[in-house]
Amino acid sequence: MWSQTLDEMSIMNEKRSSFTCMRLIRICLLIFLLAILVGALAILGIGIWTHETEYGGKQISAMVGVHLFQVDSVMMIAAGSATLIITAIGIAAVLSRNECLLELHIGILAFVSVILFAAGILGYVLIASMEKTVKEALEKSVAEKYGLDGNNLITEAWDSVQIKLECCGAYGEMNSTTSWALYKLKSSWVNKNVSNGSLVPASCCKGTNLTLCLGKIPTDSPPYKGPPVAQIPIDYTLFTMGCYNKLEHFINQNGIVVGTSAIVVGTLMIVEMVLSICVYRSAR
């Protein structure tokens, strides 16, 4: 009799211990879900910010006429939106102890966590490998598309960036053939005389002494002369630095923000998925 009572007490203690353990797991799961909810809002906001920011992937894509450089921010927006939905499903599943909702939550969670890690890795890869690709794309855009019929959006994007960042051409310093001199030496806009005698666009100039800055009158200064350029008068109005040199900081900053935030939230999601599986198995 005493043995039976002890066995029953032991079973009750085990059940109580198991119940307490699962309760702690549920509480931890809810905490992780709330953390991921905050992370999802952050990822969605970062995705929108990097997509719409003046000097982000959208602007680069507009300048070269290719949407490749918006892929990472689009992935972030999609992943952030999906994470908000599945986190809401997860919270509802835990509170209601609904197995079907929990199954749905775990399945979508696994998929979205992969997307987030991919977006995070892509963000860092873009920093490491995008420089050469972007430079070549910008150079080709100026040489083959700027100022020509059918490329109004590209032309407007270049003019906007050159005015706001006070830059001219693709990349390089004053004596580079790919900064301001790219228009003069290689662009179809000048070579086909679409420029009406201008050697650089008006957006490469500060606005004062425009005729001199456009290279329409003989002078010893660029763009009429050079490269190379011996020196430029202090009050000269031509922007001589290439635009990639000015954009590089913004591109790197965006890549770091996207990569770090995606990987952090992706890691939280994997931990949360393990906890969700534990809760699911205990519910069955």
Angle among Cα 263, 272, 43 to the nearest 5 degrees reads 40
- pLDDT digits 0-9 by tens, 30-70: 888 888 888 888 888 888 877 776 666 666 666 765 555 66
Q: What is the pLDDT along the chain (284 residues), one digit of tens a residue?
A: 444 454 444 544 455 555 577 678 778 888 888 888 888 888 888 888 777 766 666 666 667 655 556 666 777 788 788 888 888 888 888 888 788 888 888 888 888 788 777 777 776 776 666 778 888 889 999 999 999 999 998 899 899 889 988 999 999 998 999 999 999 999 999 999 999 999 999 999 987 788 889 999 888 888 888 888 776 655 578 999 999 998 887 777 777 777 787 788 788 888 888 888 877 777 66
SS3 call for 26 = helix
Helix extents (H) in the chain: 2-52, 57-64, 71-96, 99-144, 152-165, 181-186, 188-191, 210-213, 243-283
Pairwise CA distance, residues 216 & 226, whole Å: 14
Domain boundaries along the sequence of the chain: 19-129+247-283
**Residue 42 tokens, joined:** 């952050």
- Tell me the CA distances in angstroms from 37 to 71, 108, 162, 269, one per residue in order: 23, 15, 39, 10
DSSP state of 226: -
What is the reported pLDDT for 246?
Answer: 87
Who contacts 16 (Cβ-Cβ below 8 Å, separation ≥6)? none
Pairwise CA distance, residues 71 & 170, whole Å: 22
- φ/ψ of 238, rounded to 5, equals -80, 130
Chain mean pLDDT for the chain: 80
What is the reported pLDDT for 131?
Answer: 76
What is the reported pLDDT for 6?
Answer: 43
Angle among Cα 256, 67, 144 to the nearest 5 degrees reads 115
Peptide bond into 222 cis (omega under 30): no
Minimal CA–CA distance to 147: which of 162, 133, 135, 134? 162
SS3 call for 228 = coil
Pairwise CA distance, residues 33 & 265, whole Å: 11
DSSP state of 222: T
Asked whether 91 and 128 are in contact (CB, 8 A), the reply is: no
> 């100022």: which residue's tokens?
147
Cα of first residue to Cα of last residue in the chain, in angstroms, is: 33
Asked whether 177 and 185 are in contact (CB, 8 A), the reply is: yes
Q: What is the DSSP string of 150-215?
A: T-HHHHHHHHHHHHHHT--SSS--TT-TTTTHHHHHH-HHHHTTTTTT-SS-GGGB-SSSHHHHTT
Minimal CA–CA distance to 179: which of 132, 226, 242? 242
